[in-house]
Structure 1
Amino acid sequence: MAVASFIKESLINIGLKVENQDELFHAMFEKAYEQGFVKETFLPKIKERESIFPTGLSVNNYSIAIPHTDPEHVVEQFIAVSVLEKPVSFHLMEDNTKTTEVQAVLMLGLNQPHSQIEVLQELMQVIQVEEHLEKLIHAKDKSDITLLFESIKIS
């Protein structure tokens, strides 16, 4: 399963201007909803899941988040990518008492239960490489993002 096949160019935001996690989720949801990728229930459920199971990750000098929710809220599978103009605070996945300032968000919309595990495993391989995160966070346009994911070889 290639992560690149889930990246939807129409759901990539470069330099997204948001003040907080709520605005971020709303902006990403709106695009996905308008294009028929998610149901109305997706937004409240992704917020709810993030509050219970945070998705912030800090890898060396970079921080990203991988929010996702249950398959029944997704119409068509996707990964939406937002590179933020300024970081937004997320609780850490490994310690929800701590926060990290997230610079990029990979929102997963997966409606096949097995897909979620496989895609998360592949994404973890990608984000553990600092060079990949650097390219993601410093992307100048949508093609930088799609080319990055197409060029990554998953073991």
Structure 2
Amino acid sequence: MEISSYIKKELIKLNLPCKSRNELFQLMHQEAYKYGYVKEDFLQGLMSREEVFPTGIKLSNYSVAIPHTEAEYVNNQFISVVVPERPICFKQMDDETIETEVSLIFMLGLNKPHSQLEALKELMNLIQQEEVINKIIAAKNEEEVINLLDTMN
């Protein structure tokens, strides 16, 4: 599986103005719903899952998050790439009592369990490459992000 094949240009948001994780989820749900990628209850599924299974990942010099939900809320598979205007607090995956300021979010909308596992493996490999993460965060437009992720595979 190549994650770049699931990246949707219309769901790449650079310098997205939002102040909280929930606001980010609402904005991205609206976008994904507008394009028919998700069902109406995707937002609730996303927020519920994030409360039980936090997705913030703290690495040495930066933090990312990989929020996702159950397959039943997804119509068409996608991976959204979001760079918020300012870092957003997410609870850490490995210790939900600690929050980390996230600068890059990969939101998954996958409806096949195998796809989700493969995507998570590839993303875990990707997020450990600091140079690539910095380039995505600094990208000026959606094409730059797509090209960066294409060259990863």
For normalisation by structure 1, the TM-score amounts to 0.97
- Alignment partners' CA distance in 2, 1:137 and 1:95: 25
The reply to whether residue 123 of structure 1 matches residue 123 of structure 2 is yes
The amino acid across from 2:120 in the alignment is L
- Alignment partners' CA distance in 1, 2:113 and 2:84: 29
List structure 1 runs of 4+ shifted beyond 6 angstroms.
none
Aligned to 1:63: 63
SS of 1:44's partner is helix
- Alignment partners' CA distance in 2, 1:125 and 1:104: 15
1:1-155 paired onto structure 2 within 5 Å: 1-153=1-153
Q: CA deviation at 1:112?
A: 0.6
- Alignment partners' CA distance in 2, 1:92 and 1:98: 6
Structure 2 alignment gaps of length 5 or more: none
For normalisation by structure 2, the TM-score amounts to 0.98
Structure 1 alignment gaps of length 5 or more: none
Identity in percent: 47
More divergent stretch after superposition (29-38 vs 127-136): 127-136
The superposition leaves residues 51-80 of structure 1 with CA deviations (integer Å, 9 ceiling, x where unpaired) of 110000112211111000000100000001
The superposition leaves residues 91-148 of structure 1 with CA deviations (integer Å, 9 ceiling, x where unpaired) of 0011111010011111000001111001100111111111111111111111111011
Q: CA RMSD of the aligned region, Å?
A: 0.7
SS of 1:86's partner is coil
- Alignment partners' CA distance in 2, 1:140 and 1:52: 34
